[in-house]
Amino acid sequence: MLGFRGTNMILLNDLMTFLNDFMGYTDKVPKIDNYLVNGLQVAGEPEIHKIATGVSANLRFFNKAIEAGAQALLVHHSMNPPNSVYFERDKIFMSRLKFLWQHNLSLIGYHYLLDSHPQVGHNAATIRYLGGELVELYKLYGQEGWGWIGEFSDGANLSELMAKCRELFKNNGVYYPYGNETVHRIVSICGGAPPRPGDYEWLIANKIDLFITGEPREWNQEMCREANVSMVAGGHYNSESIGLHELSKVIQEKFEVDIEFVDVPNIV
């Protein structure tokens, strides 16, 4: 989607100092998000001439990043940790880790922080792309808030918002235009966080007109219809790429370094 070109080299330590500060890393983050890494997972070459960004850490992405000439990889989904302390039993994890070691690649991931960040986060960026303004964190999935609530002060046309979502999510996903034609309040929580059956009363009470996520569930179609709430599920992958493009812009403003988004398309 986006490629950024620079000429200079940066140090891994300098990059991580900047990223952790900008993304708002604190000692509380691992307690909020014990699923995936928020920060540096694997340290490789100390000098970075090019950064490859991508949604998920996997061998296909790693190989494409090598072909692009990257020394550091910046992703949303880092490597899933093994279920056991006996790492060698997890063949997929070990093959990925050994590949990174073999090619001296650094792997950096921001999971919760790239969902919740008010400037470059997937959800904040989605709301701004649609023309809305951020109001507050959406906290039905965790009290710290993984998504955002937004508003359109003058209202926005539902059909136009649906068209913008189709453009943003590359025509992927499912679209339920079951709510009011004029949209005032919106929730964006990317990835696999659709409304659960018990969430709809909250959505109704808080006058949410449009709910945007990545993956739908079977019950969402008819519950959205009955709740008079529109919904877009643009795909887990597509809904979690926008923040990486926004973060790339910030890095490019701070450092003169090559950055390239490495696409590994996934319809889910």
**109 domain residue, yes or no:** yes
Nearest to 71 by CA among 37, 104, 22: 104
* Together in a domain, 188 and 122: yes
Same domain, 101 and 61: yes
For the stretch 30-41, pLDDT in tens is 999 999 999 999
Tens digit of each residue's pLDDT (9 = 90 or more) over 77-119: 999 988 887 888 899 999 999 999 999 999 999 999 999 999 9
**Is residue 216, in this structure, part of any structural domain at all?**
yes
User: Using 50, 70 and 90 to split pLDDT, how confident is the model at 7?
Assistant: low
In a domain, 222, yes or no: yes
Pair 99, 132 in one domain: no
C-alpha to C-alpha distance for 62 and 204, rounded to whole angstroms? 43
Cα 239 from Cα 212, distance rounded (Å): 9
Q: In angstroms, rounded to a whole number, what is the distance separating the alpha carbons of residues 259 and 19?
A: 14
Q: Are residues 128 and 210 in the same domain?
A: yes
User: Do 122 and 52 share a structural domain?
Assistant: no
pLDDT for the residue 81: 86
Q: Domain of 67?
A: 3-113+241-261
**Same domain flag for 21 and 127:** no
99 and 126 assigned to the same domain: no
Q: Is residue 69 domain-resident?
A: yes
The reply to whether 61 and 144 lie within a common domain is no
Q: Looking at residue 86, what is its pLDDT?
A: 82
Do 208 and 179 reside in the same domain of the chain?
yes
Would you say residue 43 lies in a domain?
yes
Residue 63 is part of a domain; what is its CATH number? 3.40.1390.30
More confident residue, 4 or 175: 175
Task: List all residues 6 or more positions away from 137 whose beta carbon is below 8 Å from its beta carbon.
Answer: 116, 144, 145, 146, 147, 148, 149
Question: Residue 265's CB: how many other CB atoms inside 10 A?
Answer: 10
* Total length of the chain: 268
Tell whether 108 and 40 lie within a shared domain. yes
**% of the chain surpassing 90 pLDDT:** 92
52-81: per-residue pLDDT in tens? 999 999 999 999 999 999 999 999 999 998
What digits encode the pLDDT tens for the residues 198-219? Answer: 999 999 999 999 999 999 999 9
Residues 166 and 213 in one domain: yes
Q: Same domain for 195 and 208?
A: yes
The secondary structure of 164-177 as a DSSP string is HHHHHTTT-SEEE-
Q: Is residue 266 part of a domain?
A: no
Within a domain: residue 268? no
The whole-model pTM stands at 0.95
Tell me if 36 is assigned to some domain.
yes
Query: Which amino acid, residue 93?
Result: F
Domain tally, the chain: 2
Residue 253 burial (CB < 10 Å; 0-12/13-18/19+)? Answer: exposed
pLDDT, mean over the chain: 95
